[in-house]
Amino acid sequence: MTSDRPGPETERAAAMADLEREISKFFRSARSLSDRIAGRIHPDLDAPGYALLATILDLDADDQGVRAVDLANRTRLHKSTLSRAIADLERLGLIARVRDPHDARARLVTLTERGRSAVEQSRVGRSELMLNRLAEWDTNDLVQLATLLQRFSRALTPDA
C-alpha cells in the first residue's frame, strides 16, 4: 500500500521553492526601502549608492578616509564600477577624495560632513522603522531570525 503523503525529497523541494519565493520578496522589500532612504538623502542617489555610503561609514570610523581597494574588497564591486560610483557620490557632494597622509600619490575616499550626517540620520530612521514594524515580534523570534539570517548569509558567501 502506497501513501499519498509526499516523500522527504518532495517536501524539501517545496520548502526550497517557498524559501526562494520569500527571499525574492524580502530582497524587493529591502531594495525598495533602501531606494526610499537613498532618495531622502539626495534625489539622484540610488540604493547601490546608499549602500556604498554606508560601507564607507563602516570602514572609515575615524574619518581619515578609506582606500578604494578596501571598498572594492568589502563590496565586491569591479574596479571600474566602483570608480563610477565614487565619481557619482562625489558629484552629489556626499564624499570627497583626500590625499593619503601615508602616501602622497594615493587618494582616500571619505564622507563629507553632509554625507556622514545623512547616512547616520538614515540609520537612525531605519532603526526606528524596524522597531515600529517589528514591535509585536517576540524577542526570541528576533534572536532566532538574526541567527538564521547570519547562518544563511555565511552559507551564501563565497570563500567563507
If you average pLDDT over residues 151-160, what whole number do you get?
A: 84
Show me where the domains of the chain are located. 10-156
User: Which pLDDT does position 106 carry in this prediction?
Assistant: 87
Q: 68: which residues sit within 8 A by CB, 6+ positions away?
A: 79, 82, 83, 86, 107, 109
The C-alpha atoms of residue 34 and residue 67 are separated, in whole angstroms, by: 24
The C-alpha atoms of residue 155 and residue 157 are separated, in whole angstroms, by: 6
User: Which pLDDT does position 3 carry in this prediction?
Assistant: 60
Question: Cβ(101)–Cβ(81) under 8 Å?
Answer: no
User: Which pLDDT does position 4 carry in this prediction?
Assistant: 66
User: Which pLDDT does position 1 carry in this prediction?
Assistant: 53
Q: What is the DSSP string of 85-152?
A: HHHHHHHTTSEEEEEETTEEEEEEEEE-HHHHHHHHHHHHHHHHHHHHHTTTS-HHHHHHHHHHHHHH
Instruction: Give CA angle at 121 (32, 56), nearest 5°.
Output: 80
- Mean pLDDT over each residue of the chain, to the nearest integer: 92
User: Which pLDDT does position 151 carry in this prediction?
Assistant: 95
User: Which pLDDT does position 61 carry in this prediction?
Assistant: 86
- Residue 41: CB atoms within 10 Å: 20
* Domain 10-156: assigned CATH number: 1.10.10.10
The structure's pTM equals: 0.81
pLDDT digits (tens, 9 = 90+) for 39-91: 999 999 999 999 999 999 999 988 899 999 999 999 989 999 999 999 999 99
If you average pLDDT over residues 113-127, what whole number do you get?
A: 94
